[in-house]
Structure 1
């Protein structure tokens, strides 16, 4: 199969995972949204990456015996025409079989998106609907500007907002009861002063 460029693939519909996996590597990151190839936002900011590392460290410290924790870039193949790259994911050890060399094949236990001004609408609307449709148990949206975490739990095929965490309030999860940290804890652990990042 001849490798196609983004410009060639974006004209095709629907774009499938196989087409996407065989496209020319141009150094950019893409997702497939309902069969449409989409270029992802510009590279994450420093605050995004620093928060991502701190969240992974906390999840790993408390949940590594029960969950596999992975960070982007990584393909989550929800269907042949729905491929996402969340910032962080958690998969219970009992479901490790959904992990393959090409990525994760199927619904996750918990997904974390650290939002940006470029991804806010996508994270809060599009991805929230997609993750619910494909059965992701819990969805977090982390706001690195206000230092809040919105926690959504799956109810049938939609998400219910369970809590908005900020400050010292410990983050708790029914999906992963091993989780326990606060947004202030994350902020205090950043190796660079906040005023340098915001």
Structure 2
């Protein structure tokens, strides 16, 4: 069977995980949003990657005995027509059965998105609704523009904003009690970079 390109698949509806998994690799990253194939934003900025790596190291240091912590890119297959690639996920050791070679089949316990100007609306609205719908217990949105972390917990089928952390405040989680760090700790060592190289 001939692999389809993004241009061919984007015209089809609904796009399923099987179609997405068998598409031609063009070096880009995609998600499936309610059966629609979406090209993800440009490659993440340095600050995004710095925060993502540092957070994974911190979470792994405190939670590795209880959780599997994974960083993108990998597929979180919430349904046949809803496939996401969060920046970080935590999956409790009692639920490792949802992990396979192709990705995560179902809702992780905790999902982290590090937002950018390109993804702000998608992270705060679309993804928040999707993660709640499919039962992700806790959702964090990290905003590098003001070094804050918004913490949402699942209540029935919607998220409630539990806290907004900044500075030296210790971030805690009912979903993952092993979590204990601050935004200051997360961004410590972040170099200041010029906007553009001349």
TM bucket, shorter chain: over 0.9
Aligned residue for 1:122? 122
RMSD: 0.9
User: Deviation string for 1:100-149 (max 9, x for gaps)?
Assistant: 00000001100000000000000000000000000000000000110000
Against the structure 1 CA distance between its residues 95 and 53, is the aligned structure 2 distance closer, same or farther, given a 3 Å change threshold? Answer: same
Distance 1:187 1:16 in 2: 38
SS in 1 for 2:193: helix
TM-score (norm 2): 0.97
Unpaired stretches in structure 1, ≥5 consecutive residues: none
Distance 2:111 2:194 in 1: 25
CA contact (8 A) 1:46 1:197 kept: no
Trace 1:139-150 onto structure 2 (pairs within 5 A). Answer: 139-150=139-150
Unpaired stretches in structure 2, ≥5 consecutive residues: none
SS in 2 for 1:149: strand
Aligned residue for 1:196? 193
CA contact (8 A) 1:75 1:83 kept: yes
**How far 1:197 sits from its partner (Å)?**
6.1
In the alignment, is residue 173 of structure 1 matched against residue 170 of structure 2? no
Trace 1:26-105 onto structure 2 (pairs within 5 A). Answer: 26-105=26-105
Aligned residue for 1:9? 9
Distance 2:151 2:113 in 1: 11
SS in 1 for 2:97: helix
> In the comparison of the two structures, how many residue pairs are matched?
195
Q: 4+ runs of 1 displaced by more than 2 Å?
A: none
Distance 1:154 1:181 in 2: 22
Distance 1:42 1:177 in 2: 34
SS in 1 for 2:188: helix
TM-score (norm 1): 0.97
Distance 1:120 1:188 in 2: 23
Distance 2:135 2:9 in 1: 28
**How far 1:188 sits from its partner (Å)?**
1.3
SS in 1 for 2:49: helix
